[in-house]
Amino acid sequence: MSDIQNLPMARAINAGLRKAMTADDKVLLMGEDIGTLGGVFRVTEGLQTEFGKGRVIDTPLAESGIVGTAIGLAMRGYRPVVEIQFDGFIFPGFNQITTQLAKLTNRHEGQIQMPVVIRVPYGGHIGAVEHHQESPEALFAHTAGLRLVSPSNPNDAYWMIQEAIASNDPVMFFEPKSRYWHKGDVELDASAAPLHATRVVREGTEVTVLGHGAMINVLLAAADIAAEEGTSIEVIDLRSISPIDYGPILESVRKTGRLVVASEAPGFVSVSSEIAATVTEQAFYSLESPVIRVTGFDTPFPPAKVETIYLPDADRVLEAVDRALAY
């Protein structure tokens, strides 16, 4: 009989971290306020008490320092899991992530590995101040040497954090912070999919809509509304941002003939653009309409009182679905 627990995503990640730390004593956590406080989102709550200050390290307040020393620890044989406190605070660590972490395996011509996980709470919907609601994943997806993933639900979060830690390559683990406290069933016995697998989360026949992280909740709501109006939407959860698992995407597009790609991030030079271009190249004759992007605007993330206008919601997704169907 399988063991299932109903957990919010933050607790699911906490449970996944605990399991990885129990399985391998080289796994350690580093970040600002993650120890005594348990992290500003409490994702690491209780872990320092359980594993000690040598395995759950409260660091000085310096993102480059955190990532740079995590690299050194990985060279020593550790498997550091770094927490960046908020998406918009990752940039002081950008150099260490892109010029060092991403390139060190290549610089050593494969003779060393960089099993470092960088956890990044990201995205909007929480009404926060500047730098606390951004979606910077495209900036990292453009850098060779990194792997990027983002779970949309507690079960994926529980398994994907463990799979990310097990990877011998650096993995950026984008956590949709607006989903931290939403519960879902977590299957504790077996992972449903590998780390880089894209999955169909709702089957449909007329239009495929695709996204990742918190956007999945929006896409599922849009699919419900569309169903009431008689339109059948297939929803795909990207899960892996780099590399992208195109198999299920192309299969779906060949079935529906229409694709809407949605993200909170700005659309210009984005993960959404990349998917639109590749699907156009590889499924051109299956498409009944152009691939349409529904994204954040190409502006800075706005003040919280207008964020709901900036962030794509079910209505904006459905407006794009209608445009796709009109071709």
132 in catalytic set: yes
CB nearer to other proteins: give 85 or 256: 85
Nearest by Cα to 34 from 47, 16, 15 = 47
CB nearer to other proteins: give 77 or 230: 77
E strands present in 9-104: 27-31, 56-58, 79-83
79 makes contact with other proteins (CB under 8 A): no
List the one residue from 70, 148, 164, 321 that touches other proteins (CB under 8 A): 70
The residues that bridge with 79 in the sheet, in sequence order, are 27
At residue 240, the 3 state secondary structure works out as strand
Answer whether 105's CB lies under 8 Å from 113's CB. Answer: yes
75 makes contact with other proteins (CB under 8 A): yes
List the one residue from 110, 229, 284, 285 that touches other proteins (CB under 8 A): 110
**How far apart are CB 285 and other proteins at their closest, in Å?**
20
196 vs 199: CA distance, rounded Å: 10
171 vs 257: CA distance, rounded Å: 33
**How far apart are CB 61 and other proteins at their closest, in Å?**
9
CB nearer to other proteins: give 67 or 226: 67
List the one residue from 7, 17, 21, 71 that touches other proteins (CB under 8 A): 71
Q: In what order do the strands lie in the sheet with 259-266?
A: 199-202, 233-237, 207-211, 259-266, 292-296
Instruction: Name the one residue in this structure whose structure tokens are 């580093």.
Output: 30
260 vs 25: CA distance, rounded Å: 43
CB nearer to other proteins: give 73 or 287: 73
Q: Which of residues 236-255 bind other proteins (CB under 8 A)?
A: 243, 245
269 makes contact with other proteins (CB under 8 A): no
282 makes contact with other proteins (CB under 8 A): no
CB nearer to other proteins: give 106 or 205: 106
Q: Which of 132, 142, 182, 212 is catalytic?
A: 132
Q: Is 144 exposed, middle or buried (0-12, 13-18, 19+ CB in 10 A)?
A: exposed
22 makes contact with other proteins (CB under 8 A): no
Answer whether 286's CB lies under 8 Å from 257's CB. Answer: yes
List the one residue from 23, 37, 129, 144 that touches other proteins (CB under 8 A): 144
Q: Where do contacts with other proteins occur on this chain (CB under 8 A)?
A: 28, 54, 59-60, 62, 64-65, 67-78, 92, 95-96, 99-100, 103, 105-114, 144-145, 147, 167-169, 243, 245
